[in-house]
């Protein structure tokens, strides 16, 4: 059982994020819970990351240089290997925490028998645009698998022993961008207990340009993840095959939305059509297709006018 003022290890992988890292570390220094260590895993950054870290004279902030070869899961696993705390928290170097985050999480660990805690998240970007992202209350393996991942890594704190029992993050390059989702699924499969705090205690920086560039890689990683779990953990049945087709449709629809938001209407339509083939009766796909066609028609009418 966790005790008050027990050490919390915060794992912060970073690569060329000097412009955001100082703000990230300041959000940790503002925590009302002071018994923590911050382990920065520096993936051989070529900017002034090390200079930024040197500004902080706090002995609780440590840096480890580590080459992850493009696998952020490896950096997080390496950080956990060097963690001294019984509780592990993850924080990306461009994200931020509410000052009461650790205190509220540790209070839950004291009062409830849970293995992993997450929270609601504020999504923001460099233009100060903000919106709230609500975490789920449902954490069964089947629910997590057949619905989208609603657990943001920077909002997660879990028991180190539980993390090790699940063998940490999967470092398979085919799962890059989905390694966190894979871990939550494996923890759920092991019947570990999840708890969601419905307070926005984490601030997640949205890089919309990066999302638009990398949506194909993320889609491929998602499909690889679904295939892996469907083959390894799910019993063969008509119903499960149907549910997996629906889940793949959701992933394809997500890629379509990304294309649509970036103005790539042709690819958006192609992904929505693929999503329809997987789940013809999904009203959300039909609505999405209708919206894209209407936008496209109006665009060309304005261009002609």
- Domain region containing 256: 235-304
Count of structural domains within the chain:
2
The pLDDT, as a whole number, for residue 108 is: 97
Query: What's the distance, CA 301 to chain centroid?
Result: 40
The pLDDT, as a whole number, for residue 170 is: 98
232-236 LR contacts (CB < 8 Å, sep 24+):
233/141, 233/189, 234/145
CATH of the domain at 268: 1.25.40.10
Are the C-beta atoms of 253 and 272 separated by less than 8 Å? yes
**Domain assignment of residue 2, yes or no:** no
- Judge if 159 and 253 occupy the same domain: no
pLDDT tens digits along 57-90: 999 999 999 999 999 999 999 999 999 999 999 9
- Using alpha carbons, list the distances in angstroms from residue 71 to 65, 166, 174: 14, 18, 10
Of 191, 208, 225, the residue at which a domain comes to its end is 208
**Domain assignment of residue 62, yes or no:** yes
- Judge if 25 and 173 occupy the same domain: yes
pLDDT tens digits along 130-168: 788 888 889 999 999 999 999 999 999 999 999 999 999
Looking at the DSSP bridge assignments, the partners of residue 104 are none
pLDDT tens digits along 3-29: 568 999 999 999 999 999 999 999 999
- Judge if 196 and 291 occupy the same domain: no
- Judge if 22 and 99 occupy the same domain: yes
- Judge if 40 and 111 occupy the same domain: yes
pLDDT tens digits along 88-125: 999 999 999 999 999 999 999 999 999 999 999 999 98
**Domain assignment of residue 220, yes or no:** no
**H helix or E strand, kind and range, residue 88:** strand 87-90
- Phi, psi at 244, each rounded to 5°: -70, -35
């Amino acid at each position: 059982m966790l005790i008050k003022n027990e050490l919390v290890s915060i794992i912060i992988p970073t690569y060329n994020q000097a412009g955001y890292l100082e703000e990230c570390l300041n959000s940790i220094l503002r925590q009302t819970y002071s018994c923590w260590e911050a382990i920065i895993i520096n993936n051989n950054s070529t900017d002034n990351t090390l200079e930024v870290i040197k500004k902080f004279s706090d002995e609780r902030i440590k840096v480890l240089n580590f080459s992850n070869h493009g696998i952020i899961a490896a950096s997080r696993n390496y950080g956990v290997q060097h963690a001294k705390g019984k509780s592990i928290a993850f924080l990306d170097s461009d994200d931020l925490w509410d000052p009461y985050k650790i205190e509220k999480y540790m209070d839950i660990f004291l009062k409830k028998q849970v293995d992993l805690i997450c929270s609601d998240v504020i999504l923001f970007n460099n233009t100060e645009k903000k919106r709230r992202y609500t975490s789920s209350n449902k954490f069964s393996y089947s629910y997590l698998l057949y619905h989208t991942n609603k657990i943001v890594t920077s909002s997660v704190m879990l028991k180190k022993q539980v993390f090790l029992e699940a063998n940490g993050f999967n470092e398979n390059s085919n799962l890059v961008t989905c390694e966190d989702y894979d871990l939550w699924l494996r923890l759920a499969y092991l019947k570990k207990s999840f708890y969601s705090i419905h307070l926005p205690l984490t601030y997640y920086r949205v890089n919309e340009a990066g999302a638009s560039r990398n949506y194909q890689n993320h889609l491929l990683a998602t499909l690889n993840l679904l295939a892996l779990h469907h083959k390894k953990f799910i019993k063969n049945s008509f119903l499960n095959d149907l549910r997996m087709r629906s889940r793949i449709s959701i992933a394809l629809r997500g890629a379509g939305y990304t294309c649509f938001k970036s103005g790539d209407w042709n690819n958006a339509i192609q992904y929505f059509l693929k999503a329809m083939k997987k789940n013809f009766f999904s009203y959300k796909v039909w609505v999405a297709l209708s919206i894209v066609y209407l936008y496209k028609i109006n665009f060309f009418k304005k261009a002609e006018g």
